[in-house]
């Protein structure tokens, strides 16, 4: 994007592309990849970007990087449990390194990534409301590549990205719960049908029919649902 545009103009097209995700019901991993790609386009001087979502237990859950070098730099942070991205997430503040070779804050990480040719990095937390989601980071091959304007731009970008990612996460969770509920209802209906088959065939009531299904499952080392499916399927075949 052109560097001389005002911040609002620089970000307007980016946010429009982000908002379209929910309309197309994209997954979290797809949203993370898009945010990563847009961050690289949006922040001047960036040669690579990455996004990491961290679950409530503190483990990395979903991440994306624009190229293998960024992915390696991020992975070193997770391996060493230190680095600007993790600090930005933990302290909910923007972190900027103007020269990786001389920054004293994360010595092990800085030493490990120097061979990658990265010299500057900036990382901002992803926070939706009071909920910390993770962090977004951009890298450059030149020292001092990012300034206060770039900091402001990344913070604004991260704030919008966090809202998007939180919404997509919520949508995906709701969809999984919905699919699970549908699956559970289908299983319940299948077992009820199998009980009806046994009740009609054996001339027994509902409780003994269920007991028979349990016994069949134990005998065949299958779940009640699997036994019910087999029973209903064989009954349909015989009825043809």
Residue 170 sits in the same domain as residue 127:
yes
**Lowest mean pLDDT: which of 112-121, 123-132, 161-170?**
161-170
Per-residue 3-state assignment (H helix, E strand, C coil) for 70-135:
HHHHHHHHHHHCCCHHHHHHHHCCCEEECCCCCCCCCHHHHHHHHHHCCCEEEEEEEEECCEEEEE
- 44-59 mean pLDDT: 85
What domain count does the chain have? 2
pLDDT at 190: 77
Alpha carbon distance 235, 54 (integer Å): 50
Task: Give domain status of residue 150, yes or no.
Answer: yes
pLDDT at 209: 83
Alpha carbon distance 100, 104 (integer Å): 9
The CATH number of residue 230's host domain is 1.10.10.10
pTM of the model: 0.66
**Lowest mean pLDDT: which of 37-51, 150-164, 171-185?**
171-185
Two tokens, residue 29: 């991993």
Residue 26 sits in the same domain as residue 126:
yes
Whether the predicted pLDDT of 124 surpasses 90? yes
Residue 16 sits in the same domain as residue 87:
yes
**Lowest mean pLDDT: which of 82-91, 103-112, 121-130, 153-162?**
153-162
Closest CA to 142 of 175, 119, 111: 119
**The last residue of a domain, from among 155, 175, 195:** 175
Task: Give domain status of residue 1, yes or no.
Answer: no
Task: Give domain status of residue 132, yes or no.
Answer: yes
% of residues, the chain, pLDDT over 70? 79
Whether the predicted pLDDT of 221 surpasses 60? yes
Task: Give Dmax over CA atoms of the chain in angstroms.
Answer: 84
Strand 60-65 versus strand 131-140 pairing type: unpaired
pLDDT at 137: 96
**The last residue of a domain, from among 175, 209, 229:** 175
Residue 148 sits in the same domain as residue 218:
no
For residue 49, the enclosing domain spans 7-175
Two tokens, residue 95: 């972190």
pLDDT tens readout for residues 106-115: 999 999 999 9
pLDDT at 129: 83
Handedness of CA 218, 219, 222, 223 (dihedral sign): negative
DSSP bridge partners of 62: 53
Residue 84 sits in the same domain as residue 158:
yes
The CATH number of residue 54's host domain is 3.30.450.40
Are 127 and 133 contacting, i.e. CB atoms less than 8 angstroms apart? yes
Banded pLDDT at 183 (limits 50, 70, 90): low
């Amino acid at each position: 994007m052109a560097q001389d545009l005002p911040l609002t103009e620089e970000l307007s097209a980016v946010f429009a592309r982000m908002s379209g995700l929910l309309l197309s019901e994209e997954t979290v991993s797809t949203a993370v990849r898009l945010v990563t790609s847009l961050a690289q386009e949006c922040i001047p001087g960036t040669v690579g970007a990455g996004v990491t979502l961290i679950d409530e237990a503190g483990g990395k859950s979903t991440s994306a990087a624009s190229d293998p070098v960024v992915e390696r730099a991020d992975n070193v942070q997770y391996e060493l449990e230190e680095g600007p991205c993790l600090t930005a997430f933990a302290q909910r503040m923007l972190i900027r390194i103007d020269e990786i070779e001389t920054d004293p804050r994360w010595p092990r990480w800085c030493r490990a990534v120097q061979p990658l040719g990265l010299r500057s990095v900036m990382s901002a937390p992803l926070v939706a409301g009071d909920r910390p989601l993770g962090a977004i980071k951009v890298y450059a091959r030149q020292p001092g590549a990012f300034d206060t304007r770039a900091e402001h731009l990344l913070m604004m970008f991260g704030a919008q990205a966090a809202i998007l990612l939180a919404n997509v996460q919520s949508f995906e969770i709701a969809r999984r719960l919905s699919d699970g509920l549908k699956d559970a209802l289908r299983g319940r209906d299948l077992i009820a049908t199998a009980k009806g088959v046994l009740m009609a065939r054996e001339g027994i009531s509902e409780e003994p029919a269920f007991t028979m299904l349990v016994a069949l499952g134990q005998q065949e080392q299958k779940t009640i649902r699997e036994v019910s499916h087999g029973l209903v399927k064989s009954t349909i075949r015989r009825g043809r």
